[in-house]
């Protein structure tokens, strides 16, 4: 997968179900493995964490274009955000009765049966949308007189703890201080940075997504924020550890997954200072180009 051999990679990726710590979902529906879906009712089951869901929900559009009825089974907290997406007919957190579903499949298995390649993985247009009222409600946080940049310096702590040091994604918050340049307002994309209702009153990630749509640039480590910003089609820079995930491929600063994303890769070290200095220099150039 990292080498870009998706034709073989997606098929081999199905072996993940044989891992001792990952049992196949036991559901009373027939698995979808590429059959015609026009007029059929498909249940897509989300897998992984928030970032995986934001990344792979794009593939529901392929099936919707084939006139399937799409139900997404996912984390309860994501229902308010995902139920407004036009290509999802229903978003639920309890499994529907067997008679209501013709086929099921995991979101992260769809590429294997859709025959997704490096050339077809990209979605050129944003595929997660936020309504105008939600965007307007979050305008109060924006300083229109500056360049507004969202930042996120840490990934899921429990997940990172299970990774070797060269693969851990979080960065010391102080290293982002170099991004505080003249004419820049930084917006930490962390929960409860703004008020107690942010991402709570209306649903997880909704206010964050609305804020992201109004920012000039997002700079983040490899976490759910990166996938959300990419799905929203916003300019985004992602700082990757030396041993990065397969989805970011190898030796490139772009990605077919998100056309608006630039990748910054750490050298073979757990010290992020040099990479953050590089990002700060690139940010200065970015600001110069805006003048």
Number of H helices, E strands in the chain: 10, 10
Please, what's the b/e burial string for 45-84 (b: 16 or more CB within 10 A of its CB; e: otherwise)? bbbeebbbbbbbbbbbbbbbeeebbbbbbbeeebbebbeb
Taking the chain, what is the end-to-end CA distance rounded to the nearest angstrom? 40
Q: Is the pLDDT of residue 18 over 90?
A: no
pLDDT value of residue 19: 81
User: How far is residue 17's CA from residue 247's CA, in Å, rounded to a whole number?
Assistant: 18
Q: Are 175 and 203 in contact (CB under 8 A)?
A: no
Q: Given the structure tokens 């990344």, which residue do they identify? A: 55
Domains and their CATH numbers in the chain: 6-114 (3.40.50), 132-290 (3.40.50.2000)
Taking residues 32-61, what's their average pLDDT? 97
Q: What backbone phi and psi angles, to 5 degrees, belong to 136?
A: -60, -35
Taking residues 164-173, what's their average pLDDT? 95
Instruction: Give percent above pLDDT 90 in the chain.
Output: 89
Q: DSSP letters along 226-277, please?
A: HHHHHHTT--EEEEE-SS--GGG-SS-S--TT-TTEEEEE--SSS--HHHHH
**Structural element, H or E, at residue 208:** helix 206-212
Q: Given the structure tokens 């702590």, which residue do they identify? A: 157
Q: Is the pLDDT of residue 51 over 90?
A: yes
Confidence of residue 190 (pLDDT cuts 50, 70, 90): confident
User: How far is residue 135's CA from residue 226's CA, in Å, rounded to a whole number?
Assistant: 19
C-alpha of 187 from chain center: 19
Instruction: Give percent above pLDDT 70 in the chain.
Output: 98
Structure tokens at 285: 């150039």
Structure tokens at 252: 């490139």
Confidence of residue 250 (pLDDT cuts 50, 70, 90): very high
User: How far is residue 106's CA from residue 111's CA, in Å, rounded to a whole number?
Assistant: 10
Q: Please name which of 70, 51, 73, 54 lies closest in space to residue 62, comparing C-alpha atoms.
A: 70
């Amino acid at each position: 997968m990292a080498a870009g051999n998706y034709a073989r990679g997606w098929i081999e990726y199905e072996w993940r179900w044989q891992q001792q710590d990952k049992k196949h979902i036991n559901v009373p529906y027939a698995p979808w493995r590429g059959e015609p879906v026009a007029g059929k009712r498909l249940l897509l089951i989300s897998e992984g964490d928030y970032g995986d869901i934001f990344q792979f929900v794009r593939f529901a559009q392929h099936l919707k274009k084939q006139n399937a009825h799409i139900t997404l089974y996912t984390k309860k907290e994501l229902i308010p955000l995902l139920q407004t997406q036009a290509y999802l007919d229903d978003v639920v957190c309890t499994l529907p009765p067997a008679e209501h579903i013709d086929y099921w499949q995991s979101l992260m298995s769809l590429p294997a049966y859709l025959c997704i390649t490096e050339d077809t993985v990209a979605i050129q247009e944003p595929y997660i949308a936020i309504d105008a009222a939600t965007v307007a409600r979050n305008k109060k946080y924006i300083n229109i007189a500056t360049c507004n940049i969202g930042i996120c310096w840490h990934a899921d702590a429990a997940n990172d703890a299970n990774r070797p040091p060269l693969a851990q994604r979080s960065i010391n918050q102080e290293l982002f201080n170099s991004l505080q340049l003249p004419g820049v307002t930084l917006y930490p994309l962390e929960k409860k940075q703004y008020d107690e209702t942010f991402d709570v009153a209306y649903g997880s990630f909704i206010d964050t997504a609305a804020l992201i749509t109004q920012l000039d640039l997002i700079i983040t480590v490899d976490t759910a924020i990166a996938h959300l910003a990419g799905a929203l089609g916003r300019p985004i820079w992602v700082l990757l550890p030396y041993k990065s995930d397969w989805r970011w491929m190898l030796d490139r600063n772009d990605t077919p997954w998100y056309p608006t994303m630039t990748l910054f890769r750490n050298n073979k070290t757990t010290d992020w200072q040099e990479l953050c200095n590089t990002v700060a220099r690139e940010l200065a150039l970015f600001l110069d180009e805006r003048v």
